[in-house]
Amino acid sequence: MYKILSKEKLTPVIDCLKVEAPAIAKKARAGQFVIIRIDEVGERVPLTLADWDAAAGTITLVAMEIGASTCKLGGLKTGDSILNLVGPLGLPSEIEKFGTVVCVGGGVGIAPVHPIARSLRQAGNKVISIIGARNRDLLFWEDKMRLVSDELIVTTDDGSYARKGLVTEPLKEILEREKVARVVAIGPAIMMKFCSLTTKPFNVPTVVSLNSIMVDGTGMCGCCRLSVGGQTKFSCVDGPEFDGHQVDWDIVFDRQKVYLKEEKEALDRWKECQCQKS
């Protein structure tokens, strides 16, 4: 059992949990993920680390309430526990002094981008960050991102806050404006695809983090497989970060939809249970 030491809502649908996990906190590095199983009937859900504190023995998870499992997670309170927590999994981000790096975080993807931006800055890079969300209510950690960035650009799709538009627009402007050594983009798959398409003509290496559907997270099942540069890769052990220019995005989109029907069924069931409880 892994105790939730604090839980807050970053937005009405995005939860931030600080969980007691000293062994994982000691080993965690930017870009890695954990798998949680909330309770005895729970599924195994991969979540990229949003933060960790080796001294305090805690890790921070950020999740958006999209399906039954993330809603269940959102229903937990400070003092509750998560039944299983395993990690740190996957390969850490490549952190070295590249020069100028642009870190793009879309929606809930802002959370995993944060420690990567921080590590890149600590390694001596100039970090320009772009964070974006559909609207003001889905945006969070602007302050935290500002602290780890030399420059921060904030966008909302609908213009309800800061600059109106998609993250790819300021990304293109920066690429036209100055020499960029590397781009890290984490967010919805469609955003990562278009960030990769944006950087391609500029020939700037672009790293994306693919949070595929997983079961074990250790290379055992192959559920998270994708095609990168024509080769089958497992997101859990070969990733989660890959060269965005080499990823076959159609397979990523298709494989994300495998359980759409079942996910809806589970969510409806969850909502029904909640109604009966209240």
Q: Which residues bind another protein (CB under 8 A)?
A: 23-24, 27, 37, 41-44, 68-69, 83-89, 215-223, 225-227, 232, 237, 250-251, 253-255, 257-259, 262-263, 265-266, 269
For residue 224, the minimal CB distance to another protein (Å) is 10
| Cβ neighbours of 219 (radius 10 Å) | 13
Please name the residue that has the structure tokens 């020939």: 203
E strand or H helix at 110: helix 110-122
Nearer to another protein, 24 or 47 (CB): 24
Q: How far is the CB of 206 from another protein (least distance, A)?
A: 22
In 21-160 the beta strands, taken as DSSP E runs, fall at 33-37, 45-48, 51-53, 58-64, 81-82, 84-89, 100-106, 126-133, 151-156
Cβ closest to another protein, residue 118 vs residue 255? 255
Nearer of residues 162 and 251 to another protein, judged by Cβ: 251
Q: How far is the CB of 187 from another protein (least distance, A)?
A: 22
Residue 30 vs 85, nearer CB to another protein? 85
The distance of closest approach from Cβ of residue 232 to another protein in the complex, given in angstroms and rounded to an integer, is: 7
Q: Which tokens in the block code for residue 247?
A: 């990823």
> Nearest distance from residue 87's CB to another protein, in Å?
7
CA distances from 39 to 2, 125, 128, 212 (A): 11, 41, 40, 21
CB-nearer residue toward another protein: 159 or 222: 222
In this structure, are residues 128 and 155 in contact, taking their beta carbons and an 8 Å threshold?
Answer: no
Nearer to another protein, 179 or 261 (CB): 261
**CA–CA gap between residue 21 and residue 2 (Å, rounded):** 7
Q: How far is the CB of 239 from another protein (least distance, A)?
A: 14
Nearest Cα to Cα of residue 262 among 216, 219, 220, 213: 213
Between the alpha carbon of residue 245 and those of residues 66, 101, 195, 239, the distances in Å are 28, 17, 10, 15
